Amino acid sequence: MDIIRDPGILAGYLSDASNTHGTADALVRPRSTAEVSEVLRHCQAEGIPVTVTAQRTSTTGGPVPDGGWLLSMEAMDRVLEIGPDFAIAEGGVMLGALQDQLEEQGRLYPPDPTSRQECTLGGSIACNASGARTFVYGPTRDWVDSVEAVLADGTVVQADRDTPIPADWPRPTWVEPQVKTAVAYTPADNLLDLLIGSEGTLAVITSARIRLTERPDAVFSVLAFYSSIDEALDLVEAARPRTRVRPRCIEWYDRYSLDFVRARVPDVPEAAVAAVWCEQEVEDLDAEMEAWFELLEETGALVDDTLFADDDKGLQKLRAVRHAVPAGVNEQVVANGMPKVGTDFAVPDAGLRAMMAAYEAVTLPHVLFGHVGDNHLHLNLLPRTPSELDEAWAVWRSLYEQALSLGGTLSAEHGVGKLKRKYLEQMVGGPALDSFKALKLHVDPAWILGRKTLLDPDV
């Protein structure tokens, strides 16, 4: 295993999707669990910080190094076994490619982060990633049966839900909010759940056994447009119980999101101020579509403009909407020459309308979209000047306080990383933060792994 110090090569590993930039002294690309262990033993002994990196799709700065070595999982990319109800793959396997392979065999691994074609299996487990289908299928945690991982001192562990947390490890002590959340160390009763979502600060995930389910024979999509935000929310609240209709995802797009969509899907009506996109697994297509049309009419949708798709071409067109918005945001960020400031809050059902009103009151340039079925929306603020960037963070802090007051979370799917670290205590409280630090220090005495991700040894 080579230790690479060439600045030209290192430069390609020093930032992530948040546009955060860091520094590193070296890069290693292990090809086996034994080599990962060797790296961590050496760095623990020498006090060298190690940042695990995969495809750098993170929006929180987690894989951005703060000096020391980068450990890239890109060479550990093998699918090891596929069975009827499970698959085993190394951490560096591309998630989307693995899912495509499984679906060709009639199986489904449901977690579907928007970046699934660009992110890795190990990275998605480390962040407990989720996506649109989380509304029905739950986040990544629910689909991981076991992992092989290397702790910060180089110890290799096999962890499933029967694997106890070592008796001498300090336990995270806090109560997670009753919403979709991906914040800090979960108060788990087993080692597997403790490692999932730990953002590369306790261990490096080298392989995983994931659970599969049957791929649905067919799905259809509905993209409904509304001239009223309240009426669009009526649809969300009517569809969420999955009684009359059975969506597996419910996604939101505000008027500014739709401006990006029009460039790729030209059938967006000018009167639309919001859109709700749903996807449903088919049992009885005619009856199910009739139920949707009835619900759309009752909630005041622009029914004549509603887009339905139940074939591959149509489904791909509507799924392009989901990707058009983040792509448009990234293009705007480049054009503005300033970083975006994005929320990742989720709130309980009862808080959705209040949170939506707070988002709608924002006057800075922005787009609002995301997983409204889970009350989890991404407000992407798009500042154009340094002063607007300062204002954007002030808006973010105000919205964060609103989300917490409603019983919400700092992060529903992206994790804390480096960018949100200083806001963690406000959510979890001082005693919980102290318990996180005690665990981290015990497992990683030199505090090498993921330094300044999630926790800061100097604070």
**320 band by pLDDT with thresholds 50, 70 and 90:** confident
| 3-32: b (≥16 Cβ within 10 Å) or e | ebeeeeebeebbbbbbebebebebbbbbee
Distance, in Å, from the CA atom of 118 to the CA atom of 58, rounded to the nearest integer, reads 11
Q: Quick one: 266 and 396 in the same domain?
A: yes
Q: What is the pLDDT of residue 266?
A: 76
* pLDDT of the residue at 313: 86
Same-domain pairing of 242 and 372: yes
> Which stretch of 67-76, 214-223, 293-302, 320-329 has the lowest confidence by average pLDDT?
320-329
* pLDDT at site 114: 82
Percent of the chain past pLDDT 70, that is, above it, reads 100
Read off the pLDDT of residues 252-285 as tens digits, 9 standing for 90 and up: 999 999 998 887 777 889 999 999 999 999 999 9
Residues β-bridged to residue 70: 27, 51
pLDDT of residue 388: 97
280 in the same domain as 254: yes
Please state the domain count of the chain: 3
- Domain final position from 160, 184, 214: 214
If asked whether residues 20 and 106 sit together in one domain, one would say: no
Average pLDDT, the chain: 94
Q: How many residues does the chain have?
A: 459
Q: Could you read off the pLDDT of 49-69 as tens digits, one per residue? A: 999 998 888 878 888 999 999
Task: Please indicate, yes or no, whether residues 224 and 206 belong to a single structural domain of this protein.
Answer: no
My answer on whether 271 and 134 are in the same domain is: no
Domain endpoint, select from 366, 388, 405 = 405
Distance between CA 245 and CA 233 in Å, rounded? Answer: 15
- 334 pLDDT tier (thresholds 50, 70, 90): confident
Best CA proximity match to 373, nearest among 408, 344, 349, 402? 349
Please report the pLDDT score of residue 322 as a whole number. Answer: 75
Q: Number of C-alpha atoms within 13 angstroms, CB side, residue 98?
A: 32
Per-residue confidence (pLDDT) for residue 138, from 0 to 100: 95
- 68-108 confidence digits (pLDDT tens): 999 999 999 999 999 999 999 999 999 999 999 999 999 99
CA 240, 241, 245, 249 dihedral sign is: positive
Mean pLDDT of 206-210: 98
Q: Dump pLDDT digits (tens) for 364-423.
A: 999 999 999 999 999 999 999 999 999 999 999 999 999 999 999 999 999 999 999 999
Task: Give strand ranges (E) for 54-202.
Answer: 69-72, 79-82, 86-90, 107-108, 144-151, 156-160
**CATH number of the domain bearing residue 186:** 3.30.465.10
Task: Please indicate, yes or no, if residue 417 is contained in any of the structural domains.
Answer: no
The reply to whether 378 falls in a domain is: yes
User: What's the whole-number mean pLDDT along residues 119-131?
Assistant: 93
Q: 48 lies in a domain?
A: yes
Whether the predicted pLDDT of 165 surpasses 80: yes
Same domain, yes or no: 118 and 231: no
Same domain, yes or no: 149 and 205: yes
Tokens coding 395: 């808006």
pLDDT at 321: 76
Same domain, 224 and 210: no
Q: Could you read off the pLDDT of 132-156 as tens digits, one per residue?
A: 999 999 999 999 999 999 999 999 9
Q: Report the percentage of the chain scoring pLDDT > 90.
A: 83
**Which of 26-30, 139-143, 176-180, 315-319 has the least mean pLDDT?**
315-319
Q: Does residue 199 contact residue 416 with C-beta atoms inside 8 Å?
A: yes
pLDDT band with cut points at 50, 70 and 90 for residue 116: confident
Per-residue model confidence (pLDDT) at position 111:
95
Q: Does residue 241 share a domain with residue 190?
A: no
SS3 category, 206: strand
Q: How many angstroms separate the CA atoms of 278 and 284, rounded?
A: 16
> Could you tell me if 153 and 296 lie in one domain?
no
CATH of residue 256's domain is: 3.40.462.40
**146 and 54 within one domain:** no
Residue 183 carries which DSSP code?
Answer: -
pLDDT at position 2 over 90: no
Residue 424 forms part of a structural domain:
no
Boundary residue ending a domain (177, 195, 214): 214
pLDDT score of 61 = 83
Q: In which domain, by residue range, is 92 found?
A: 79-214
pLDDT value at 433 more than 80: yes
Q: Is 287 exposed, middle or buried (0-12, 13-18, 19+ CB in 10 A)?
A: exposed
The two beta strands, 79-82 and 107-108, are: unpaired
